[in-house]
Amino acid sequence: MSAGRSLREFHRPLLWIALWLAMIAAVIATCLMPAKDLPPTPFDSFDKVEHFTAYLSLALYAGMLFARVRAQALATAGLIALGVALEFAQANLTDSRSGDAADALANSLGALAGLWLARTPIALWLQRVDRRLGPR
């Protein structure tokens, strides 16, 4: 790997980056859609679990994409900023949603947990999938 390269080695890097970007787009769309279009939660505050899990998944996926800790940390910082921005957007750009500091905290903690998990062997999972699919 060259000194300037941040991505892990993949046969299909564009596919894996596109999937991550699609995941981010899905989170953005879900956060901004009208509340009536969302399924009911099984219990109060379950949305905090959803926020934590979504951002954990996004940050962990970034850990699977990027080999360098700096790139992983920048991606995580960007995800935290996105989570905060989406809470402001919910409060100011939607009629049926409200911004919630607890949601922003759940997003941030999830992203940090994903960054921490990127230090474990889980971070190599995407490369294993890529290798099993074989060369292009």
Please say whether the beta carbons of 126 and 8 come within 8 A: yes
pLDDT of res. 40: 81
pLDDT of res. 44: 78
pLDDT of res. 2: 44
pLDDT of res. 35: 80
Give the mean pLDDT per block of 10 residues along the chain (136 residues): 72 96 97 85 85 98 97 98 96 88 97 97 96 87
pLDDT of res. 1: 43
pLDDT of res. 3: 39
pLDDT of res. 107: 97
Handedness of CA 26, 81, 113, 72 (dihedral sign): positive
Alpha carbon 19 to its chain's center: 11
pLDDT of res. 60: 98
Task: Kindly state the tokens that stand for 124.
Answer: 């190599």
